[in-house]
Amino acid sequence: MKLIINENEQLVAETVSQRIIELVKAKPASLICIAGGDTPLLTIEALIKASQAGKVDFSQTQFVGLDEWVGLGRETKGSCIQTLYDAFFDRLEDVSNEQICFFDGKAEDLAAECARVDAFIDERGGMDFILLGIGLNGHIGFNEPFVPVDVNCHVVELDDVTKRVMSKYFDTDLPLTHGISLGMKQILAAKEIYLVATGAKKVDIVKQVIEKAPTVSIPATLVKEANTTLVIDKVAASGVMA
């Protein structure tokens, strides 16, 4: 795993966005996965600015969602699909819905939903690039501690830590118990993984990811053996720079 430490979160976003731009220029039809949540928002803003300035063309690029809260759809503020559409996809004039595959958290048949997303990825030869955040418990996507590593898209029972922090995404209390997510098998097979963490809240988990051997108890450590770049700011790196 390669490690990049930037001065601040804005420079982290510039590092990640520049890599995505380079990839899309080299392979316009790349399949890219960008996590929901707060982690990628500055990167997304950098990509929007680059697109508006004509520095990158996403008209052939394919996108797949990382995860979704079971029971939520695009109409719910804080859902993964709502976050990415509002922040990114709806602001790109050269991207159509046909280029995007996202989990429907309200689907009646979640197994069929998993199969649909699996097929989208398989038909395109796997993911070229995936941008991941790191949960406080080390989860990536909704791959919580101790989830199987040999599965593709699946439904996961949410860890207690995830349930505690999820309130920051929503205006009201929601009785969410499960998530639907790309599996570790697909994530590890991505041609390029960028793992991103910034800020004081991520100091402890960043230290664990860097110092511990790969373990299912901390899913983010599992990507260390893939083609992974960990990009963090100096604050998040403070636990390993002391």
Q: In terms of residue numbers, what domain contains 89?
A: 2-241
Angstrom distance (rounded) from CA 242 to CA 238: 6
Angstrom distance (rounded) from CA 230 to CA 192: 11
3-state per-residue secondary structure call for 8-47: CHHHHHHHHHHHHHHHHHHCCCCEEEECCCCCCHHHHHHH
Question: What CATH number is associated with residue 228?
Answer: 3.40.50.1360
Query: Looking only at Cα atoms, what is the longest distance across the chain?
Result: 50
* pLDDT tens profile 46-96: 999 999 999 999 999 999 999 999 998 888 888 899 999 999 999 999 999
Angstrom distance (rounded) from CA 232 to CA 198: 5
The pLDDT of residue 176 is 84
Reply yes or no on whether the pLDDT at 185 is more than 80. Answer: yes
Angstrom distance (rounded) from CA 162 to CA 141: 11
**Bigger pLDDT: 75 vs 98:** 98
Reply yes or no on whether the pLDDT at 38 is more than 90. Answer: no
The pLDDT of residue 174 is 72
153 and 65 Cβ atoms separated by less than 8 Å: no
Catalytic residue numbers read: 67, 137, 139, 144
Other CB atoms within a 10 A radius of the CB of residue 177 amount to 11
Number of domains the chain contains: 1
Name the phi and psi angles at 68, rounded to 5: -160, 150
Q: What is the pTM of this model?
A: 0.94
The pLDDT of residue 114 is 98
DSSP 159: P
Angstrom distance (rounded) from CA 139 to CA 147: 10
* Range of lowest pLDDT (3-12, 53-62, 151-160, 224-233): 151-160
Q: How confident is the model at residue 161 (pLDDT cuts 50, 70, 90)?
A: confident
The pLDDT of residue 76 is 82
